[in-house]
Amino acid sequence: MNRPGPVPLFWRIFGLNAMVLAAATALLLWAPVTVSVPVLFTEAVVLVGGLAVMLVANAVLLQVGLAPLDRLTRRMATVDLLRPGQRLPIAGQGGVSQLIRAFNDMLARLEAERATSSARALSAQESERRRIAQELHDEVGQSLTAVLLELKRAADRVTEPEVRADLQHAQETTRASLDEVRRLAHRLRPGVLEDLGLVSALAALAEELSTHTGLLIHHRFQPGLPPLDAPTELVLYRVAQEGLTNVARHADATRIDVRLSHDETSVRLCIRDDGRGLGLSHEGAGIRGMRERALLVGAALDLRAGPDAGTELSLVVPVGAAGADRV
């Protein structure tokens, strides 16, 4: 036996109004109430009271019938594709339920498409970073090295003290520029991650940032880290890199604690600082970029106020998680 189809929203609202009007008509037909000409005060009170009852009943019934649409409107205004899984509950088989079901399906498609496009974009970004790092190392680095050697030879041949001092100053400037180029190339392409693994790469990252900024960075990594695939390790490294950079640039912190721990189901990266905290600031491109990376490997990224002061960033990666694409 075929079940009846869902009742359209139009007929549901029409039915609610018809019920109210039918009740009002029945009350006028069978109630012992008459209307005089001119209308008496007591009769006017009864009529106004009846109208008020009808309006209130109609408003309550419409509020109940349209409540799912209000929830849908609020969710549409606040939905964030970087926080997947935001779905509305579906109750019944009416037109509103069909609309909510279509909205949930649309969210699922958008999340899948965003994950795919983000994976491609981040993969292209990593490829471009490798290319730029290689060019900095092979071309700019070698050119600066050649300039440094030429300056040294020129300084050795010069006898005038003032000219020699100028050449030596130029040597120091060139050497500093060469170190900066190497540092940039290292940030663009983490060779330590590829050669020595995640723990060594995170330790080198913390030490480099501490040396460059003067921040006190303590790191503690739990031994026995479970094996992770290359995309997952890269996501952990990039999130740590972006998180530490954000603290150095914006937090006015003096101390950073970096922790890497794990259990049977997940690996957790935690970065905590003693800076000025989140305040009323909104998420910038850096934080949203970290959320996009986290989604690629099924990880959960959380940013909240620290237990005492400052900010705490945590990234929880399921063990065995793999990205939608290699980044």
Residue 19 is predicted with a pLDDT of 75
Is the dihedral angle over the CA atoms 122, 123, 126, 128 positive or is it negative? negative
Q: Taking 50 as the threshold, does the pLDDT of residue 202 lie above it? A: yes
Closest CA to 287 of 252, 257, 241, 243: 243
Q: Are residues 206 and 95 in the same domain?
A: no
Q: Are residues 108 and 232 in the same domain?
A: no
State yes or no: cis peptide before 38, omega within 30 of 0. yes
Q: Which residues sit opposite 314 in a β-bridge?
A: 270, 302
Task: Let me know if residue 267 belongs to a domain.
Answer: yes
Task: Let me know if residue 163 belongs to a domain.
Answer: no
Q: Are residues 107 and 215 in the same domain?
A: no
Q: Are residues 229 and 104 in the same domain?
A: no
Q: Are residues 312 and 207 in the same domain?
A: yes
Q: In what order do the strands lie in the sheet with 311-318?
A: 216-221, 255-262, 266-273, 311-318, 300-305
Q: Taking 70 as the threshold, does the pLDDT of residue 207 lie above it? A: yes
Mean pLDDT of 245-273: 89
- Mean pLDDT of the chain, nearest integer: 77
Residue 316 is predicted with a pLDDT of 92
Closest CA to 326 of 180, 121, 152: 121
Which of 27-36, 231-240, 286-295 tops mean pLDDT?
Answer: 231-240
Contact 208, 224 (CB under 8 A): no
* H or E element in which residue 311 lies: strand 311-318
Number of structural domains found in the chain: 2
Contact 107, 87 (CB under 8 A): yes
Q: Taking 50 as the threshold, does the pLDDT of residue 119 lie above it? A: yes
Q: Taking 60 as the threshold, does the pLDDT of residue 321 lie above it? A: no
Q: Are residues 105 and 204 in the same domain?
A: no
Could you tell me the two tokens for 178? 């060469």
- Chain Cα centroid distance, residue 75: 17
Task: Let me know if residue 15 belongs to a domain.
Answer: yes
To the nearest whole percent, how much of the chain has pLDDT over 70?
Answer: 76
Task: Let me know if residue 135 belongs to a domain.
Answer: no
Task: Let me know if residue 120 belongs to a domain.
Answer: no
Please report where in the chains the tokens 């680095």 appear, as a residue: 141
- Chain Cα centroid distance, residue 232: 17
Task: Let me know if residue 300 belongs to a domain.
Answer: yes
Burial zone of 160 (CB within 10 Å; 0-12 exposed, 13-18 middle, 19+ buried):
exposed
Could you tell me the two tokens for 87? 């779905």
To the nearest whole percent, how much of the chain has pLDDT over 90?
Answer: 7
Boundaries of domain holding 55:
9-77+91-113
Q: Are residues 107 and 231 in the same domain?
A: no
Q: Are residues 201 and 322 in the same domain?
A: yes
What type of residue sits at position 202?
L
pTM of the model: 0.61
Domain harbouring 220, CATH code: 3.30.565.10
Reading phi first (left if > 0) and then psi (alpha if -120 to 50, else beta), residue 163 is in alpha
Q: Taking 60 as the threshold, does the pLDDT of residue 310 lie above it? A: yes
**How many Å apart are CA 187 and CA 200, to the nearest integer?**
14
Least confident interval from 13-17, 53-57, 177-181, 295-299: 13-17
